[in-house]
Structure 1
Amino acid sequence: MPPPSPTDPSHDDNWHGSYYELAIKLGLADDTRLETALTALWDIAHLGEPSGVTAARPTFR
């Protein structure tokens, strides 16, 4: 069996023993701008609902 894709968020091995770090410059501090950027990243990554959490999609406020 081939190893899982490192971009597959549904494979457990991609969530153990490592972490991802991301730095993005958004300009001046602004809650609306930050929420828009985080929502766009979440949607583009096709992450869907958080796994292992019973709450709805996270709010970034």
Structure 2
Amino acid sequence: MHALDQRVERVTDRVAKAAIEVRVRTVQIPTIVKTFLLPGLVTRQARLTEGKRALNTRALAIVN
């Protein structure tokens, strides 16, 4: 029973990490497109906010 619990825990962690990764990529792609293709639409403040968000996401990924 203990081995089954451990396996379920590992699978659950993998699914959670995959869901987080999908969300990060979903937000990242439009931001990159806006930055490189339409640079006038992204203000300095928006870039700073996105940068902080990316750092927080990386910190969460490192912790997990």
Higher relative contact order (CA 8 A, sep 6+): 1
Give the TM-score normalised by the residue count of structure 1.
Answer: 0.35
Give the TM-score normalised by the residue count of structure 2.
Answer: 0.34
